[in-house]
């Protein structure tokens, strides 16, 4: 499977639910180009924690699309355990979702759509591709 | 389950289909329609969330995405930065990242 073009941080998911055009234009462009976007699990959970239950169905519709991939951390204790790394990155970003989003972005060489570019740039640097929403 | 449908297409599309082996035409059209359905479903999700209409533009979309790709240089700089922040060797971190991107 090809690597995702963009990683959707928590703020991007909220922006989709609330109709922010920049995120809509980007995700539809990814679908048109037959690409994918990645949703880190921590961001997904953060988004649900911030949404009204009546808005959950909108996120479900997005997640059902084949162009949207939810990414879970590798948790193989003997071979590849990403939990300590993501947690350590979150110590610097100040938010678990930002730590996971930055890790997924780094692994896939993908830009991040976020409402908190400051948190992402703390770990990935000023040169990282970011779309602020 | 499948069923036969009859459609009319422009000459250039008909020529494209004529160039295919007869047994592959249905699979070819099915794949193309399924790909388009991903875009249509995305638009439906966006409309439900109150977004406006977006024209179907796969070529323009691919160009816009290519213009905003993360460069290998930016990735290397970020790996060095994260390795320093986490107190880990950059090579070890890079190996972990490569395992993830290959998964």
- Out of A31, A74, A102, the one facing B42 most closely (by C-beta) is A31
Burial class, B72, CB count within 10 angstroms (exposed 0-12 / middle 13-18 / buried 19+): exposed
Mean pLDDT, chain B, whole residue set: 93
Packing angle, helices B72-86 and A117-124, rounded to 10:
80
> Would the CB atoms of B58 and A30 count as touching at under 8 Å?
no
Q: How confident is the model at residue B98 (pLDDT cuts 50, 70, 90)?
A: confident
Percent of chain B scoring above 70 in pLDDT: 100
Instruction: Tell me what the mean pLDDT of segment B23-51 comes to.
Output: 94
Integer Cα distance of A102 and A88 in angstroms: 11
pLDDT value at residue A2: 80
How many other C-beta atoms lie within 10 A of the C-beta of residue B73? 9
**B95 CA to chain A: closest CA distance, Å?**
10
pLDDT digits (tens, 9 = 90+) for B67-83: 999 999 999 999 999 99
Chain B CB within 8 Å of residue A3 CB: yes
Nearest of A56, A43, A65 to residue A116 by alpha carbon: A43
**A16 CA to chain B: closest CA distance, Å?**
7
Q: What angle do CA A30, A26, A6 make, to 5 degrees?
A: 65
What residue has token string 């809509």? A24
Chain A CB within 8 Å of residue B56 CB: yes
What residue has token string 């610097």? A92
Percent of chain B scoring above 90 in pLDDT: 85
pLDDT digits (tens, 9 = 90+) for A92-131: 999 999 999 999 999 999 999 999 999 999 999 999 999 9
> Would the CB atoms of B54 and A35 count as touching at under 8 Å?
no
User: Is the pLDDT at A1 greater than 70, yes or no?
Assistant: no
Name the B residues in 14-53 with CB < 8 Å from any A CB. 35, 38-39, 41-46, 48-52
With beta carbons under 8 A apart, name residues in chain A contacting B62: 32-33
pLDDT value at residue B67: 94
Q: Number of CB pairs < 8 Å for A and B?
A: 132
């Amino acid at each position: 499977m090809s690597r995702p073009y963009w990683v959707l941080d928590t703020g991007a998911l909220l922006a989709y639910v609330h109709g922010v055009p920049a995120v809509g234009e980007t995700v539809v462009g990814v679908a048109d180009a037959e690409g994918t976007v990645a949703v880190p699990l921590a961001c997904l959970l953060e988004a649900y924690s911030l949404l009204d239950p009546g808005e959950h169905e909108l996120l479900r519709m997005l997640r059902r699309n084949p162009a949207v991939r939810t990414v879970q951390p590798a948790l193989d204790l003997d071979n590849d355990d990403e939990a300590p790394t993501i947690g350590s990155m979150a110590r610097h970003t100040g938010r678990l979702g930002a730590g996971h989003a930055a890790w997924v972005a780094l692994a896939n060489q993908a830009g991040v759509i976020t409402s908190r570019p400051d948190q992402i740039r703390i770990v990935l640097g000023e040169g990282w591709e970011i779309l602020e929403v | 389950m499948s069923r036969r449908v009859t459609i009319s297409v422009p000459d250039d599309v008909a020529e494209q289909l004529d160039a295919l082996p007869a047994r592959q035409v249905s699979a070819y059209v099915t794949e193309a329609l399924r790909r388009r359905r991903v875009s249509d479903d995305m638009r439906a999700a966006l409309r439900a969330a109150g977004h406006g209409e977006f024209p179907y533009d796969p070529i323009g979309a691919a160009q816009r995405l290519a213009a905003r790709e993360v460069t290998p240089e930016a990735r290397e700089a970020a790996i060095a930065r994260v390795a320093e922040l986490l107190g880990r060797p950059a090579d070890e971190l890079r190996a972990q990242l490569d395992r993830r991107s290959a998964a």
